[in-house]
Amino acid sequence: MRHVATIRRLLLASALLFIGILCPLEFAAAQSKSDALLDALSEPERQKLLDTRKKLEGLHRQLAEITVAARKNNPSLQNQEDKLRHLVLNTMEAAGYQPAKEMAHLKELTGKLRADDVDPEQKKRLINDYRQTQARLMAAQREAMANEVVRQARQNYQEQMRQAMEKENPEAEALIQRYAKMRMQLRRQLESAIKNQDIDQ
């Protein structure tokens, strides 16, 4: 089930949330969007998109592993991340959002989507609900990241995390740059595919 695979990627992406490499919700949204386009594309376009996605996911896994190791070997960094996470969540809540409730709802939807007895109509409703919840969380995350206090705390954490990642793997920075480049490539391919679909219609 493609959407369940997207959810797994969202969970993996959480390890990269605060180092400026990736917003997991935006990553999942991009993957979800490419899933929706795949069946409508010609075979060459479809293969090109799948190849880019595969490379991106490979880099994604590598960076997640380095990040996890960096956090494990730097307890103070983990403490700093916990404080930043609470700051972000509190900022979201102060702006009127309910991130904990929304994440719990995503988890609930994930369980329902994994069930074997989901009929097509119910699956469609669940996916629509998932995407709407995801969109609300993305809006909350963008607003929180625009907060000056959050921005400064995140920048400090990024610097510490990148140094720790370099100690774990000297190629970490190069992987980050490759990831950013590949992400932009996927975005351009998605935009082009969407534009072509609009023209065809």
Task: Say how far residue 151 (Cα) sits from the centre of its chain.
Answer: 19
Q: What gap in Å lies between CA 164 and CA 57, rounded to an integer?
A: 22
Secondary structure of residue 5 in the 3-state scheme: helix
Per-residue pLDDT tens for 147-164?
999 999 988 988 898 999
Q: What gap in Å lies between CA 100 and CA 93, rounded to an integer?
A: 9
pLDDT for the residue numbered 53: 83
Q: What gap in Å lies between CA 38 and CA 51, rounded to an integer?
A: 12
> How many structural domains is the chain composed of?
1
Of 6 and 175, the structure prediction assigns the larger pLDDT to: 175
Give me the DSSP letters along 136-159.
Answer: HHHHHHHHHHTSHHHHHHHHHHHH
Q: What gap in Å lies between CA 62 and CA 175, rounded to an integer?
A: 8
- What residue numbers bound the domain in which 95 lies? 2-200
Evaluated on CA atoms 171, 177, 183, 186, the torsion sign reads negative
Q: Which residues have C-beta within 8 Å of that of residue 54, sequence separation ≥ 6? A: none
Write out the E strands in 25-103. none
Q: How large is the average pLDDT for residues 80-85?
A: 86
Task: Say how far residue 130 (Cα) sits from the centre of its chain.
Answer: 14
Torsion-angle region of 20 (φ positive above 0: left; ψ -120 to 50: alpha; else: beta): left
Give the whole-number percent of the chain exceeding pLDDT 70. 75
Quickly count: other Cβ atoms within 10 Å of residue 78's Cβ.
Answer: 13
Q: How large is the average pLDDT for residues 112-122?
A: 83
Q: How large is the average pLDDT for residues 17-29?
A: 48
The answer to which of 68-77, 78-87, 111-120 has the lowest mean pLDDT is 111-120
Q: What gap in Å lies between CA 18 and CA 80, rounded to an integer?
A: 11
